[in-house]
Amino acid sequence: MTMILLENVSVKLEGFELNIDKLEVGEGEYLAVLGGSGVGKTLLLYTIAGLIKPYAGRVYIGSIDVTDYPPEKRKVSLVPQDYALFPHMTVIDNISYGLRIRGVPRSVAYEKAKYLARLLRIEEILDRKPDTLSGGEKQRVALARALAVDPKVMLLDEPFNALDPELQMEGLKFLKSLRSKLEFTAIHVTHNIMEALFISDKVGYMAKGKLVGVFGREEFLQTKYSEPYVDLVENLYRELK
Amino acid sequence: MKNPAVKASTFEYITISLSALLLFFIIAPLVSLFMEANPSISVEMIRNQEVINAIEVSLEASILSVTILTVMGVPLAYILARRDFPGKQLVEAFVDLPLVMPHAVAGIMILAAFGSRGLLGGYLQDLGLIIEDNFKGIVIVMAFVSIPLLVDTVKVGFQLIGSSLESVARTLGASEWKAFTTITLPLSFKHILAGALLGWARGLSEVGALLVVAYYPKTVNILILEYLSVYGLKYAATLSAIYALIVLSIFIALRKVASK
Ligand SMILES: Nc1ncnc2c1ncn2[C@@H]1O[C@H](COP(=O)(O)OP(=O)(O)OP(=O)(O)O)[C@@H](O)[C@H]1O
Ligand SMILES: [Mg+2]
């Protein structure tokens, strides 16, 4: 079954246009999206989340046309590029926010938050305010906050770019294991090709406001779009020798 | 890093002396005011019904005006901080208009629009809203002159928070209202309070437009002018000192709350 479907979606901003002819992500599928800086990856996620209204085209989530739905009706969780943790709340209140806003009692919401914090290894910082956290800690809080509401769709905007390699691997493994349990559909934007290949089922590539294509993981490595990423490693290797 | 062993640089010397000069410029009139004020007259004054009434009118009108203004100004500030639309710069210019208008002109404008012989006066009269020499007129004048201070301060507060926090809140299930009340409002509370304080102070200090629109019921500012022309500086200064004491203590107390 198709979980996310975009058809002829156009978003126009001052000086930038996003045009997605077609994007289809199956239920439970994990799509990584690569592409240069400023090509519209974040904008794509915002459009799916309902934070930006396309001026043309339709957006479907779970076969429902949500183009005119407000974000809160879409059951789509976002881990934004800048984390956007609520600065006036402690970590545990950040994580519980989505549940509390739905009227879930505090004790129940806190239980869930603690459970996720344990999984993400942030249980030590639950009582702290976001401005005291490291970049990696903030990202895991943002991830926990997005997961707490059991979303059908997860939109992750470079969720691991502030993590050290060890935590990055842990985060990726965690997300992967969680996926098999919670069965969410995900679009995961990243600049890291290893991350993309490790976690995803498919890899999408964007350029200049367009989705150039969606490929299988191995297939992607055969395309010219993977070249800059591979070159980077090869050049470095050559440099060191 | 400050190092007391190092001699003050020319830069420090100049900045500090200029600042001190400016501070003196503020403090000297304040101190002089209290020295000019006469204790025995002031005892007499705070028992004077006319003075008590004027203080009541000033405080009540300014508090009412800033309350109404906050209810309407916060949404406007929010729109200006969050949205782009054609003509936005014009709207922003209108908001700042009361700031650049001479006070008497502001009074004439209000009279021309809302006065009983003004453009909208007839309709307002039907609604029972007469502004000339009326408490309601004082409230309107005070609100008018305070608009830029409140709206601009609150707008900056909203801009500082940015929209991404609200965006995330929305994706987590919060409606526009919920996102505003649980995220934006608590985070901008200080700015709203600061804006309201500035607006309130501005309203209290207005006299030019009041002379035009609503001389009666007498506000303290009007009474001070009256005392100055009828009884001279000593009386005016004494009333001013009493008023300054009241206003300053409220202002300082609220500032304390705002900075917490
Ligand atoms: N609110 C906005 N108004 C106008 N232009 C915008 C707005 N938001 C983004 N843009 C522009 O749209 C383009 C795409 O932005 P977007 O944030 O989607 O890029 P990105 O692919 O996520 O880049 P990065 O990898 O650096 O995060 C950029 O040129 C950006 O300047
Ligand atoms: Mg981005």
Structural domains in chain B, CATH included, are 38-259 (1.10.3720.10)
Asked whether the bond before A105 is cis by omega within 30 degrees of 0, the reply is: no
For residue B179, give the chain A residue with the closest CA: A101
Closest Cβ opposite residue A86 in set B173, B176, B183: B183
Residue B260 with chain A: CB contacts under 8 Å:
none
Distance in Å, alpha carbon of B130 to nearest chain A alpha carbon:
44
Pocket test for ligand 1, best of A42, A79, A82, A188 (most atoms within 8 A of CB): A42
Q: What is the pLDDT of residues A97-126, one digit of tens each?
A: 999 999 999 999 999 999 999 988 899 999
Q: What is the pLDDT of residues B71-87, one digit of tens each?
A: 999 999 999 999 999 99
Q: What is the pLDDT of residues A76-103, one digit of tens each?
A: 999 999 899 999 999 999 999 999 999 9
Q: What is the pLDDT of residues A125-158, one digit of tens each?
A: 999 999 999 888 998 999 999 999 999 999 999 9
User: Rounded mean pLDDT of chain B?
Assistant: 93
Quick check: pTM over 0.80?
yes
Dihedral-angle region of residue A120 (phi above 0 means left; psi in -120 to 50 means alpha; beta otherwise): alpha
Residue A76's Cβ-count burial label (10 Å; 0-12, 13-18, 19+) is buried
Q: What is the predicted pLDDT for the residue at A102? A: 94
- The residue-averaged pLDDT of B2-11 equals 72
Q: What is the pLDDT of residues B33-69, one digit of tens each?
A: 999 999 999 999 999 999 999 999 999 999 999 999 9
Q: What is the pLDDT of residues B137-170, one digit of tens each?
A: 999 999 999 999 999 999 999 999 989 999 999 9
Residue with tokens 């000033």: B58
Q: Whose CA is nearest to atom 17 of ligand 1?
A: A42
Q: What is the predicted pLDDT for the residue at A121? A: 87
Q: What is the predicted pLDDT for the residue at B5? A: 59
Q: Packing angle between helix B135-161 and helix B49-82, nearest 10 degrees?
A: 40
pLDDT band at B1 (very low <50, low <70, confident <90, very high): low
For residue B185, give the chain A residue with the closest CA: A88
Q: What is the predicted pLDDT for the residue at B6? A: 65
Q: Which residues line ligand 1 (CB under 6 A)?
A: A 13-16, 35, 37-43, 81
Which residue in A66, A58, A178 sits closest to A118, CA to CA?
A178
pLDDT band at B259 (very low <50, low <70, confident <90, very high): confident
pLDDT at B4 over 70: no
Q: What is the pLDDT of residues B98-127, one digit of tens each?
A: 999 999 999 999 999 999 888 998 888 888
DSSP string, B148-194: HHHHHHHHHHHHHH-SHHHHHHHHTT--HHHHIIIIIHHHHHHHHHH
Distance in Å, alpha carbon of B88 to nearest chain A alpha carbon:
16
Beta pairing class for A202-207 and A30-35: parallel
- The residue-averaged pLDDT of A38-44 equals 95
Q: What is the predicted pLDDT for the residue at A179? A: 82
Task: Give the A window 131-190 contacts with B, CB below 8 Å.
Answer: 145-146, 149, 155
Q: What is the predicted pLDDT for the residue at B3? A: 58
> Is the confidence metric ipTM above 0.95 for this complex?
no
Q: What is the predicted pLDDT for the residue at A9? A: 96
Q: What is the pLDDT of residues A164-213, one digit of tens each?
A: 888 888 888 888 888 877 789 999 999 999 899 999 999 999 999 999 99
Please tell me the distance from the alpha carbon of residue A87 to that of residue B183, in angstroms, as a whole number: 9
- The residue-averaged pLDDT of A221-233 equals 86
Residue with tokens 């830069």: B11
Distance in Å, alpha carbon of A70 to nearest chain B alpha carbon:
8
% of chain B at pLDDT higher than 70 = 98
* CB spacing of B169 vs A80 below 8 angstroms: no
Residue A70 phi, psi (nearest 5): -75, 160
Q: What is the predicted pLDDT for the residue at B2? A: 54
pLDDT band at B215 (very low <50, low <70, confident <90, very high): very high
Residue A153 phi, psi (nearest 5): -130, 135
